[in-house]
């Protein structure tokens, strides 16, 4: 068993993945089983830091769920308001209010946290220009 440390480089990460494949069927409670558990934690930590998952764009998520559920703009009138208001929200001309987010979350089965992200403004969710700026700053 190798003396594993926090994974800091892509090489460390790849080596850990290779070793994980080798011990994947290890019996828990054995030295290889302990190594398997440790590797899983180290790999998870590295992936969370190096490959963070971005929240999906709320408007795109609404549109996706509407398509999946066979809904039209008029089906959201009771949540958002008139069909023109629905259209304005879906075209990003009108922001989603907290009350809309609550109702959309329930109706469309979307996690409410997708609508609320303090780090981003309404028009920055996964926009290519925001991602490019964030990447340049890093």
Does one domain contain both 73 and 46? no
Does one domain contain both 64 and 124? yes
Sign of the Cα torsion 80, 85, 90, 95 reads negative
Yes or no: say if 43 and 7 are a contact pair by the CB < 8 Å rule: yes
User: Tokens 């994980």 label which residue?
Assistant: 20
Q: Which domain holds residue 77?
A: 58-137
Token pair, residue 120, equals 């981003």
Amino acid 7: pLDDT? 96
Average pLDDT over residues 33-50: 93
Is pTM beyond 0.85 here? Answer: no
With a pLDDT cut of 70, the percent of the chain lying above it is 84
Number of other residues whose CB lies within 10 A of the CB of residue 69 = 11
Does one domain contain both 46 and 72? no
Q: How many domains does the chain have?
A: 2
Q: Report yes or no on 5 lying in a domain.
A: no
Separation of CA 44 from chain center = 15
Q: Report yes or no on 20 lying in a domain.
A: yes
Amino acid 127: pLDDT? 44
Amino acid 23: pLDDT? 94
Helix crossing, 58-69 with 83-90: angle to 10°? 120
Q: Report yes or no on 97 lying in a domain.
A: yes
The answer, yes or no, to whether residue 62 has pLDDT greater than 70, is yes
Q: What is the CATH number of the domain that holds 100?
A: 1.10.260.40
More confident residue, 138 or 17: 17
Q: Report yes or no on 2 lying in a domain.
A: no
Q: Report yes or no on 3 lying in a domain.
A: no
Does one domain contain both 70 and 43? no
pLDDT tens sequence across 82-136: 999 999 999 999 999 989 999 999 999 998 888 876 554 444 444 444 444 555 5
């Amino acid at each position: 068993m190798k003396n594993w440390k926090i994974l800091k480089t892509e090489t460390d990460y790849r080596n850990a993945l290779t070793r994980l494949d080798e011990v994947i069927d290890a019996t828990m409670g054995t030295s290889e089983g302990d190594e398997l558990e440790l590797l899983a934690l180290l790999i998870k930590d590295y992936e969370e830091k190096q490959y963070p998952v971005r929240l999906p764009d709320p408007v795109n998520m609404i549109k996706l769920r509407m398509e999946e559920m066979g809904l039209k703009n008029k089906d959201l009138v009771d949540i958002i308001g008139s069909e023109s208001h629905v259209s304005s929200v879906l075209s990003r001309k009108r922001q989603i209010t907290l009350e809309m987010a609550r109702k959309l979350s329930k109706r469309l089965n979307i996690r409410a946290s997708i609508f609320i992200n303090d780090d981003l403004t309404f028009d920055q969710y996964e926009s290519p220009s925001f991602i490019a700026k964030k990447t340049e700053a890093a």
